[in-house]
Structure 1
Amino acid sequence: MTPTLASLAAAVAAVAVVAGLFMAVAGGIGWDPGPARRRSRTEQRLRAAMGLGTSPSGPTAWWARRSSRFSAALVLGLLVWLFTSWPMGGVMTAVIMAGLPWLLNPGSGAKEQIARLEAVEEWVRRLSDIHTVGVSLEQSIQRSLQTVPKPISGEVTRLVSRLSAGWLPQDAYRAFADEMNDAIVDEVAALLILHVEDRGAGLGRALNDLAAALAQEVYARREIEADRQKPRTNDRWVTLFCLVIFAVSMLSGAYVEPYTTAVGQLTLIGLGIGFVLVKMWMRRMAVIEPTPRFLSSADRTAGESGKEGSA
């Protein structure tokens, strides 16, 4: 099939539209890290559904990590459009290529969260070793920056920066808990806040005990993820099978001829949307609601507003 000048121009225009959509998603969801802002539950679920994980990124890190895949997706989508005359086939190919990590790696967000929690456990244990008599908690945290585990290096670096900038320690620890967004990490922040208010002895022992509790939590979460690995593997194979069928069908000639019409293209869009909705439904069934946090910034804001109103 030889592409005409008109079809080439239309394909280029569509690729520009898809690129604009990608940039809009990058700007709206992953471009601004918002280090001290706790994301709403709806935003957390949206990010998890898109495979973005929970760790914050720098202003351009979201796009930098995905630029190569997006470029390849746009080129592949253009080629599919030109050589099959399926406008929506090209767009769907580009979207599928860009979303491959989300399609083939169900549960990646949970694994990332476990890795971050394990890093917190290691950091707390090192912090207990660093903290000695005569050394303040804030100084110990600053010294721990030299050996902080990589998964939480950004959060700890920002914590040290806030303390150095003159933030109240309580606010800095709460901001750290908001970034980690995990109920078990709230316990770490609560211990640090209590020490700021009391400055009593025994912090090193308390940190050691908390590190042991964190290690048990990591072990329990890994056991749960191991049990969920088999259905996720089945989901991955089903997805691969569907994608192969989609790729082969585009080259099958007369069998897919009806899809070249306007009605066929709309049908193709409906099938693609249905496939994504089924994937989201399957993932939703495997999601376990996290334990509610007790250091929620939203709860603190509501409490402060209530006090002002009663006054």
Structure 2
Amino acid sequence: MTSSSLSVLGMLAGALVALSLTGIVALVRGWRPATRGLRPGRIRGRAVRAVEELPPGWRDNYPLLLAGAAGTGGLMWALAGWPVHGLLAFAAVAGLPFVLYPGGSGRTEVARLEAIAEWLQQLASVRAGGKPLEATIVDLDTLPARLERPVGQLADRLRSGTPARWAYRQLADDLASRIGDDIAQLFMDHVTSRGPGLARALSAQAILVARQAADVRDIDAERAKARSEARRVSLFAIAVVAVILVNGSYSQPFATPIGQLGLLVLGGLFVASLLWLRRMAVMEEEPRTLLTAEERAKESEVV
């Protein structure tokens, strides 16, 4: 192998190591168990959000899976002697739960909506006794597990003296969904009007969210076939790639710096096809009605 080829290979290996380490650190630092809250106010990339949509077993242990993927990638690199082989092995292990659940877990979204409906009904029951909304939120002793983080932060803001309207606006950022915007808007309207019908409005909103949870459950069941097809195609493709990487005769054309670059391109195209299959199986979210924190920041910069 010439010195120029070794130089190209060294640069490629360094770039792949840096990229892999950056991805691992970003995922681990940005990952939060969904049981601590509904959704983070600022999602650190689509990968973090995809992890949070996995079933609890995969979601809660995903940092461990990343560590195992890094070890697998390093072992493959050592055995094959080529960095892209290691990178593809890492990607195969790290992406396994997304292959098994190509459209995310619809049950996760159902659980989120059911938690919101339960919380709204709690607020409606206490508010019916005439207690102010802010005091009702702060004094609730029990919360649905999936809302402990965002509602807990809301209560902390209200206790610390944050204006109620701004605290509710930040709640919408934490929930980061259409239904979160609707709830925040209801609360903000109450701050302005202080009307007597809030308990009825909260109860009606709770019923609406519960119906939405039932609809999502039905839609998720209908999409099960599409997810099953995507899973079969993805697992078959991964099996083919694994055979190519392990079998020396098949991987011989990739045992050069140029071959490694070609393998990297093919791997990228393969990942892109899996993402396309996942996009076909995932449920689209309803558009937000309130500006996100990032959009408000951009508007303030323009002004």
What is the correspondence of 1:148-187 to structure 2 with a 5 Å cutoff?
A: 148-187=143-182
State the match for 1:213 in structure 2.
Answer: 208
What is the correspondence of 1:138-287 to structure 2 with a 5 Å cutoff?
A: 138-144=134-140, 146-287=141-282
Offset of residue 36 of structure 1: 11
What is the correspondence of 1:1-311 to structure 2 with a 5 Å cutoff?
A: 17=18, 20-23=21-24, 25-26=26-27, 46-47=45-46, 51-53=50-52, 66-108=62-104, 111-144=107-140, 146-287=141-282, 289-297=284-292, 301=296
* Structure 2 residue runs without a partner (length 5+): 1-9, 33-37
In 2, Cα distance between the equivalents of 1:166 and 1:213? Answer: 31
* Structure 1 residue runs without a partner (length 5+): 1-9, 56-62
Offset of residue 288 of structure 1: 5.1
Letter in 2 for 1:246: V
In 1, Cα distance between the equivalents of 2:71 and 2:298? Answer: 52
Letter in 1 for 2:114: E
SS at 1:51 equivalent: helix
TM-aligned CA distance change 1:301 to 1:154, over 3 Å: same
Contact 1:48-1:109 within 8 A present in 2 as well: no
Q: Deviations over 1:61-80 (max 9, x none)?
A: xx995432222112111221
TM-aligned CA distance change 1:175 to 1:68, over 3 Å: same
In 2, Cα distance between the equivalents of 1:196 and 1:52? Answer: 36
Offset of residue 99 of structure 1: 2.6
Aligned residues: 284
Query: Normalising to structure 2: TM-score of the pair?
Result: 0.78
Contact 1:76-1:94 within 8 A present in 2 as well: yes
In 2, Cα distance between the equivalents of 1:16 and 1:86? Answer: 12
Offset of residue 102 of structure 1: 2.7
In 1, Cα distance between the equivalents of 2:79 and 2:40? Answer: 47
In 2, Cα distance between the equivalents of 1:299 and 1:75? Answer: 36
Moved more, 93-102 or 160-169: 93-102
Q: Deviations over 1:254-288 (max 9, x none)?
A: 23322222333222212211111111222333455
Letter in 2 for 1:139: A
CA RMSD in angstroms comes to: 3.7
The one of the two structures with greater contact order (alpha-carbon pairs below 8 A, sep at least 6) is: 2
Q: Deviations over 1:177-233 (max 9, x none)?
A: 122122223222222222222223232222111111111111112211211121111
Q: Deviations over 1:15-72 (max 9, x none)?
A: 85455323553488659xxx99965xxx78x5169724479xxxxxxx9954322221
SS at 1:166 equivalent: coil
Letter in 2 for 1:255: Y
Contact 2:254-2:263 within 8 A present in 1 as well: yes
Offset of residue 156 of structure 1: 0.4
Contact 2:154-2:168 within 8 A present in 1 as well: yes
Identical counterparts, % of pairs: 34
In 1, Cα distance between the equivalents of 2:161 and 2:271? Answer: 47
Letter in 2 for 1:71: A
